Structure 1
């Protein structure tokens, strides 16, 4: 908030309005109070969107009308984006979208926000404002509490159910707010079928929390998880994966955590991807990660592991090892699983040392048969643990060609 780029935006707005007409709001204030990193800067203002655009232009700053109908303009200062939103009050809501009116009352703007620790404001001089009277304490205590009545807030925007669990995963401490839980449980049916992109965003952000397990347990207990992802029948493997990441100091892998929530079934992985409208890359990763062939076990020999890496790719093999480790009910030492991962990471799969031209020189006519012969020789080569002797490969080629009576 003290960066020159940030101060330039505040100065531009106050030059158009008056001192105090613009305040920092939401996550940047909350995270500062909680000693957590600040990812972006949101600013609330009494200026209308047109006035904001004029103010930024007069100060030589770029203005992008990202959502002027709802009062939002993005300012760019020193290549850093700042989202600026005019104070608003709801005129009507239907759980999906709201009709808003602009206001000059900070209290009205605070009342339409989701959680009390997100309804905190700080002006350019560093003065803190807490219109609900509880936001500061909630931030300090790690309590996720809706502004006003939870049922009312949720009916304004059904996705606030997921936001509650996401914020609980990131910031919650101790027992969750019981009124919020009761409201989420009572209205869980409203969240299914909502905008897939927003649902995806909330789920992935929740899974990105350092330890999402307590929040996911709450989602399961209230029936919210089943309402949005009905094919998630157990959290056991996800719980195991998070434990492994924590204990082994692995990097938290949001995408693999998502894969851990579903059974080893490519059809279900595809359904999940379609329900959440995941990218093609993520969809393919999920489908490959939950595949069942070849079977991954902790006691695989180095030769078996190399064959699996060659067949699957390093990332897919690593994904399957971690998922198998997380879901294993058999006694297995950590060193066995880590050994498989180390082998894969330190082994460079060789390139099959035979070309189509060499196959044709051996007497195979151009056409599909070339590929069939190459595949037959490749199977032998893999079975020989990727033998490096090119002469042996050529001899095998000759034997295959003779055996096929080409």
Structure 2
């Protein structure tokens, strides 16, 4: 794998060149690109976020950005992070650090000027890659490029030590394994994750949920999730989950060319009990909309695709159908019609206003849906028949 960062669209951005000129005007090597942007560019993947590491202290970063009229936000100033607000997208700039103390959730850091020391506190070798913003020269202190080429996700140094610094790294390991990893997996990493998995219980539910959703969003998270279950990791964060449901769902999504959806995949692993699902979603601190969607999927009942979409909405119908391995082809380019009948039409036929009107509306609507949404002529026939049953 190359010793120089390949040319990519983001490396040619004028606003990034201006950022580098503001922080390191004399080319002293005071800043480097780091992490995901370097890793994904080496793999030829699209870039989502750009991070920069620097030997400059946060106050100096803020001062130099201000002098260059680049807007800056002190987003994580206590840990050395400043966010530069650029036309092409935000860039997080973090001063080199070393951990002083950590409790597995939060770390106390001290600033450093040692690039290798900063790299040593990162999680995986493939994330500890730095690139000079002017020359593209890559600094790889722990064999990250070789691991990328081998599709090997490996902790830096001692896996247990890295996990004890932040137990969320257990879930991050499986997330990165789902995206970048091959087989066989790193035996030291898996053993450490299995042994230290109880530490996950001390993390905030929001952090856990965030990692699970990111993992489930990958093209095929089933092997990683099944391995989490085998190693006893999944039971620590989601004891109710059944990962064996994932392979069939992923296959159904691919068959029908449906994009991966992490919430649908989460729903497939949860019990077929809306009340139980609601409790799980609340425990994970999911949003109200996410909770409703999971509860809607829980009963697993399907039926006619369009009737299901009319009742549950397109997303709700697709969730249930795909989870059951059924086709969603009938929903393509289909827009659910609106039921045109109003209560006034029933009253006009001699039925007094009251509960009976609502009952008849529901009855006729159910028949209309069951017959595949026929035209207004048929609705009139259904209306006449329903009213006739209740007239003296």
Provide the TM-score with structure 2 as the length reference. 0.90
Does 2:62 match 1:53? yes
What is residue 280 of structure 2 aligned with on the other side? 272
Does 2:219 match 1:240? no
What is residue 6 of structure 2 aligned with on the other side? none
Deviation at 1:79, TM superposition (A): 4.4
CA distance in 2: counterparts of 1:36 and 1:306, whole angstroms: 37
What is residue 69 of structure 1 aligned with on the other side? 78
Which deviations, in whole Å up to 9, do the C-alpha atoms of 1:66-107 show, x marking residues without a partner? 010010000012241000001111111001101111111112
What is residue 109 of structure 2 aligned with on the other side? 100
Structure 1 range deviating more: 250-259 or 379-388 = 379-388
What is residue 392 of structure 1 aligned with on the other side? 381
Provide the TM-score with structure 1 as the length reference. 0.87
CA distance in 1: counterparts of 2:41 and 2:372, whole angstroms: 56
Which deviations, in whole Å up to 9, do the C-alpha atoms of 1:309-332 show, x marking residues without a partner? 43333332222111111xxxxxxx
Match of 1:139 among 125, 144, 148: 148
Which deviations, in whole Å up to 9, do the C-alpha atoms of 1:205-247 show, x marking residues without a partner? 11122221221122112100111110013x2321111123334
Q: 1:270 to 1:57 in 2, by over 3 A?
A: same
Does 2:214 match 1:227? no
Structure 2, unpaired ranges of 5+: 1-10
Which deviations, in whole Å up to 9, do the C-alpha atoms of 1:136-175 show, x marking residues without a partner? 2112222111111111111110100011111111111221
What is residue 330 of structure 1 aligned with on the other side? none
What is residue 2 of structure 1 aligned with on the other side? 12
Note if contact 2:305-2:321 (Cα within 8 Å) is conserved in structure 1.
no
What is residue 199 of structure 1 aligned with on the other side? 208
Which deviations, in whole Å up to 9, do the C-alpha atoms of 1:93-131 show, x marking residues without a partner? 001101111111112211111111211111122121122
RMSD, aligned CA: 2.1
Which deviations, in whole Å up to 9, do the C-alpha atoms of 1:47-84 show, x marking residues without a partner? 11111111111111110110100100000122410000
CA distance in 2: counterparts of 1:323 and 1:126, whole angstroms: 46
CA distance in 2: counterparts of 1:80 and 1:306, whole angstroms: 41
Which deviations, in whole Å up to 9, do the C-alpha atoms of 1:332-352 show, x marking residues without a partner? xxxxx43xx233335544333
Note if contact 1:199-1:276 (Cα within 8 Å) is conserved in structure 2.
yes
Match of 1:12 among 11, 18, 22: 22
Match of 1:30 among 20, 36, 39: 39
- Within 5 Å, which residues of 2 pair with 1:7-406? 7-15=17-25, 19-124=28-133, 125-132=135-142, 134-233=143-242, 235-293=243-301, 295-296=302-303, 304-325=304-325, 337-338=326-327, 341-345=328-332, 347-388=334-375, 389=377, 390-402=379-391
Which deviations, in whole Å up to 9, do the C-alpha atoms of 1:177-198 show, x marking residues without a partner? 1111111111000012411221
Note if contact 2:253-2:322 (Cα within 8 Å) is conserved in structure 1.
no
Secondary structure of residue in 1 paired with 2:291 = helix
What is residue 332 of structure 1 aligned with on the other side? none
Note if contact 1:44-1:86 (Cα within 8 Å) is conserved in structure 2.
yes
Q: 1:108 to 1:308 in 2, by over 3 A?
A: closer
Structure 1 range deviating more: 261-270 or 213-222 = 261-270
CA distance in 2: counterparts of 1:219 and 1:247, whole angstroms: 26
How many residues are treated as equivalent by the alignment? 379
Secondary structure of residue in 2 paired with 1:74 = strand
Note if contact 1:359-1:397 (Cα within 8 Å) is conserved in structure 2.
no
CA distance in 2: counterparts of 1:238 and 1:173, whole angstroms: 19
CA distance in 2: counterparts of 1:109 and 1:95, whole angstroms: 18
Structure 1, unpaired ranges of 5+: 297-303, 326-336
